[in-house]
Structure 1
Amino acid sequence: MFYRQAAIRHTSYDQTKKLYPIPFDKWLVVAVLLVALLAPFAMSGLYLNSYLLPWVIWSTAALSLNLLMGYAGQIHLGYAAVMAIGAYSSVHAMRLGAPFEFALILGGATAMIIGVGFGFTALRVKGLYLAISTLAVQYLVDWVLTHVPAIGGGTQATLQTPTPALLGFEITTDIGRYYLALGWCAVVTIFMLNVKRTGLGRALIAVREKDYAASVLGVNSYYYKLIAFAVSSFFGGVTGAILAFTFFGAVTPEQYSIDISIQILAMVVVGGLGSVLGSFFGAGFILLAPLFLNNMVTGLAEAYDFGVSRSVI
């Protein structure tokens, strides 16, 4: 999973398709899970809310998009719009009295239905034309959120998120919100690790490599692309809702703008298309690189000012 050890031999296909083909992998996964579970207790609330929580959420968003781009080979330039659909649907559902669990599923289902409806027409084109089509969805959702008050509340509107309650227990603490995001991240990660070993995953990879060659072998490329859009949109919708309830605490159109879509796309590309672990690295790099560069530039500016003042003296 994390590396490949020499001298590992498999004598059957069942051994090859195991989730942990290398025995040590499962213990490494256990160690990572323990670190993720105990990390909130080893840092302040500021670092938890400013770094760890957004990293987990954006890694989940990158994983969700990676299913579509990395496995199925279909580009999407408007993924923030998918997350916005899930977020606004969940918030409105809870405001109408729906339980939090139902609101999350409804947000994902709404994003999936709209994603499939869009995919029916968009998947008839490829490459640059598909990219432009997905970009149009981003601008369409942005327009709806800012011009339809019943949905987005208007241009300057901010919709406060109700307090989430999982299985009857309200989630009001920073650690509780982190565990909620971590739990959903674990679900998406497990799905991504397993889907490659299924017939669906192999069909998606075949479509990604050569869709017409896959069609010759009996793989309905259009059907599997549509499935990829559906599942990726569902994951994106739920992730957008998790982002609103655990990190933002409110929803505004600016939180799901085209800039966010480009950032998620960059996370997937930087981490590596089709790489589960790379989605976490890509999200960490895109989130932390601006902070690192800002601190570095500030430090260089201070050093330059100090040098100039010393030379003047």
Structure 2
Amino acid sequence: MFYRLSGTFHTNYQADRKLWKIPADRWLVLTVFALAVLAPFLVSPLYLGSYVLPWIIWSAAALSLTLLMGMAGQLHFGFAAVMAIGAYSSIHLVRAGVPFEIALLLSGIIAAVIGAVFGAAALRVKGLYLVMATLAMQYLVDWVVVNVPWISGGAHATLRTPAVSFLFMDISSLASRYWLALAWAALITVFYLNVKRTSFGRSLVAIRDKDFAAAVIGVDPFKTKLMAFFTSSFLGGVSGAILAFCYYRAVTPEQFGFNVSIQLVAMVLVGGLGSVIGSYLGAGFVLLAPIFLTNLIAGLAASGWVPVSQNFLSHLPLVIYGAMIIGFLLFEPLGLAKIYDNIRKYFLVWPFRHARS
């Protein structure tokens, strides 16, 4: 069948290094990407701006964190602070007259430098101690953003994003902002898929599995972890700038609080550590599941099928959402990506159930 792995393999390096060795996988990726590009013409502006656009941006942010947590094995509970640095830096750079394209790169570099500084301070510790160090970064950045008026304007101030253009194209429309976010998500996806095949990616995996053994074979644990923090923070800073300009269009300190860091970690864990498709699935689950559950339960309550109070109705979706996350962690710890992989492997050998892929 066209979707099966068949033929002669491992005959040349070019064929063996393909990201998708099965032709059906390549066609599937191209189809999904084509549908993503045509999304402004296929869905209404309401669904595009409320569901698809934030899903794409948060998937890019989850991929940025996956590089650090999934590939390098370093916990980070302050990634929302990294995105906040990128968001506020890009706004102030654009207001200072810096072109938007350069402001995106500079905001990523600023976030990378600050993230690497905190990462360097945290690299001597592991586990819960590393979590506490990244939490310190989250709370310190939150305090600076709130209490330094020239950054955010104050605790309750709203900082609006200026009108900008990208590569001489106006991005004031919803479709143009969506395509910019999609291009950034696609760029991170291609980067992540290819970095796993480089010496840097293999060093990250070695550090994740056992840093002492990696040091024995010549991998510098401190340098590799520092580069992981720097790279992940750079991607997160640019993702924060994209989030500010393409989705929020006005930022407040509450948009990058500790709860956002927890949501990002949940996206990575529920989707599957170290998985590209898991980042997209995890971001969609964490971001969209509460919305769909709220609408479903509200509809059932309005029709009389679920006679509950309004207070209980407002909290019930969160209860169901938390139960679903616990269920995934208990019954499929490898996340949604593993469920997708199981389904894919089933069809690779179907209808020969006795065979194993």
Which residue identity is paired with 1:237?
Answer: G
The answer on 1:112 being equivalent to 2:108 is no
Q: Distance in 1 between matches of 2:44 and 2:301?
A: 29
The farther-off stretch of 161-170 and 145-154 is: 161-170
Aligned twin of 1:311: none
Q: Distance in 2 between matches of 1:78 and 1:119?
A: 11
Deviation at 1:30, TM superposition (A): 1.5
Using structure 2 for the length normalisation, give the TM-score.
0.82
Which residue identity is paired with 1:71?
Answer: M
Deviation at 1:244, TM superposition (A): 0.3
Q: Distance in 2 between matches of 1:259 and 1:306?
A: 30
Aligned twin of 1:20: 20
The answer on 1:9 being equivalent to 2:13 is no
Q: Distance in 1 between matches of 2:246 and 2:78?
A: 22
Aligned twin of 2:240: 240
The answer on 1:299 being equivalent to 2:299 is yes
**Structure 1 146/302 Cα, relative in aligned 2: closer, same or farther at 3 Å?**
same
Deviation at 1:28, TM superposition (A): 2.1
Deviation at 1:307, TM superposition (A): 7.9
Q: Distance in 1 between matches of 2:4 and 2:73?
A: 25
Gaps of 5+ in 2: 309-357
Aligned twin of 1:222: 222
Deviation at 1:153, TM superposition (A): 1.1
The farther-off stretch of 152-161 and 50-59 is: 152-161
Aligned twin of 1:52: 52
Q: Secondary structure at the match of 1:18?
A: coil
Aligned twin of 1:164: 164
Contact 1:8 1:22 in 2 (8 A): no
Deviation at 1:287, TM superposition (A): 1.1
Deviation at 1:170, TM superposition (A): 1.9
Aligned twin of 2:173: 173
The answer on 1:282 being equivalent to 2:282 is yes
Contact 1:70 1:275 in 2 (8 A): yes
Q: Distance in 1 between matches of 2:211 and 2:18?
A: 27
Which residue identity is paired with 2:171?
Answer: I
**Structure 1 194/305 Cα, relative in aligned 2: closer, same or farther at 3 Å?**
closer
Deviation at 1:296, TM superposition (A): 2.9
The within-5 A match list for 1:34-45 is 34-45=34-45
Aligned twin of 1:182: 182
Q: Distance in 1 between matches of 2:152 and 2:162?
A: 16
The within-5 A match list for 1:171-210 is 171-210=171-210
**Structure 1 4/266 Cα, relative in aligned 2: closer, same or farther at 3 Å?**
farther
Deviation at 1:12, TM superposition (A): 5.0
The farther-off stretch of 18-27 and 72-81 is: 18-27
Contact 1:89 1:110 in 2 (8 A): yes
Q: Secondary structure at the match of 1:27?
A: helix
Contact 1:82 1:237 in 2 (8 A): yes
Contact 1:63 1:189 in 2 (8 A): yes
Q: Secondary structure at the match of 2:38?
A: helix
Q: Secondary structure at the match of 1:193?
A: helix
Deviation at 1:17, TM superposition (A): 2.9
Aligned twin of 1:122: 122
Aligned residues: 306
The within-5 A match list for 1:17-96 is 17-96=17-96
Which residue identity is paired with 1:97?
Answer: G
**Structure 1 4/69 Cα, relative in aligned 2: closer, same or farther at 3 Å?**
farther
**Structure 1 14/307 Cα, relative in aligned 2: closer, same or farther at 3 Å?**
closer
Contact 1:144 1:152 in 2 (8 A): no
Contact 2:203 2:224 in 1 (8 A): yes
Q: Distance in 2 between matches of 1:78 and 1:5?
A: 41
Q: Distance in 2 between matches of 1:33 and 1:137?
A: 36
Q: Distance in 2 between matches of 1:306 and 1:15?
A: 56
Contact 1:142 1:257 in 2 (8 A): yes
Contact 2:49 2:174 in 1 (8 A): yes
**Structure 1 220/46 Cα, relative in aligned 2: closer, same or farther at 3 Å?**
same
Contact 1:100 1:164 in 2 (8 A): yes
Q: Distance in 1 between matches of 2:171 and 2:231?
A: 27
Which residue identity is paired with 1:204?
Answer: L
Gaps of 5+ in 1: 309-313
**Structure 1 14/169 Cα, relative in aligned 2: closer, same or farther at 3 Å?**
closer
Q: Distance in 1 between matches of 2:158 and 2:126?
A: 37
Kindly report the root-mean-square deviation, in angstroms, between the aligned alpha carbons of the 2 structures: 1.8
Using structure 1 for the length normalisation, give the TM-score.
0.93
Deviation at 1:42, TM superposition (A): 1.0
* 1:92-145: CA deviation from partner (whole Å, max 9, x where unpaired): 001111100011011100000001111111111000000111011110011001
Contact 2:301 2:307 in 1 (8 A): no
Contact 2:100 2:164 in 1 (8 A): yes
Which residue identity is paired with 1:163?
Answer: A
Q: Distance in 2 between matches of 1:182 and 1:226?
A: 28
The answer on 1:254 being equivalent to 2:254 is yes
Which residue identity is paired with 1:94?
Answer: V
Deviation at 1:168, TM superposition (A): 2.1
Q: Distance in 1 between matches of 2:307 and 2:50?
A: 33
